[in-house]
Amino acid sequence: EPEVTQTPSHQVTQMGQEVILRCVPISNHLYFYWYRQILGQKVEFLVSFYNNEISEKSEIFDDQFSVERPDGSNFTLKIRSTKLEDSAMYFCASSEGPNEKLFFGSGTQLSVL
Amino acid sequence: DAKTTQPTSMDCAEGRAANLPCNHSTISGNEYVYWYRQIHSQGPQYIIHGLKNNETNEMASLIITEDRKSSTLILPHATLRDTAVYYCIVGSNDYKLSFGAGTTVTVRA
């Protein structure tokens, strides 16, 4: 079965540093998403992306966050100046269309020290 | 999006059917019922979704009541690998799936 690939699997960074989390969605999918899960808490929606623009974003997705599809295959999440509370597992997902199933990647564990 | 209510946890015997209930009494006409699961700390995995009719796929069956205020996910023959947190989510599109706490299902040998 096709899968969403995320790199790196673990990322450790210092507070205030910029990080870029990378994702390769499934090739024929058109909708892309980032979710995150703080340890022991719920999976939270961050942002959805379609047709090269943000479709919807949550309150968590403030000015420190940005997303980009730099080429035809990658989808990235950038955190400009990381905070301790950004430490979480970040999941990328993609789908063929609205109301279709989401395929999630295995996540990037981000630790901000 | 409508809220859902699920039991916090349930146990199931290996080889038996697991029936997972979900209440969504405030669901509106254009909202789908989605089920996902999360095994340990892996990414959530899609199981099934439906609007009005009952649905079945290779993983599970979804039974939605006629008034659409509740649904049941059925895993027909639970295995140890089905131990996971199961999420019932209601929404009108999948731009923004709102995951709750889900039901922790433990399949016992």
For residue range A26-52, list pLDDT tens digits in order.
Answer: 999 999 999 999 999 999 999 999 999
Indicate yes or no: CB of B41 within 8 angstroms of CB of A107.
yes
Distance separating alpha carbons of residues B63 and B74, to the nearest angstrom: 8
**Residue from B57, B50, B45 nearest B85 by CA:** B45
Indicate yes or no: CB of B94 within 8 angstroms of CB of A102.
yes
Please tell me which of the candidates B43, B97, B100 has its beta carbon nearest to residue A106: B43
pLDDT digits (tens, 9 = 90+) for B4-54: 999 999 999 999 999 999 999 999 888 899 999 999 889 999 999 999 999
- Res. A73: pLDDT tops 90: no
For chain B, how far is it from start to end, CA to CA, in angstroms?
37
> CA dist A34 to A23, A57, B55, B68, Å?
9, 10, 28, 29
- Res. A99: pLDDT tops 90: no
> CA dist A55 to A48, A76, A105, Å?
5, 15, 20
**Residue from A40, A13, A22 nearest B101 by CA:** A40
Q: For residue B98, which residues of chain A lie inside 8 Å, CB to CB?
A: 45
Q: Residue A85: helix, strand or coil by DSSP?
A: helix
Distance separating alpha carbons of residues A64 and A82, to the nearest angstrom: 8
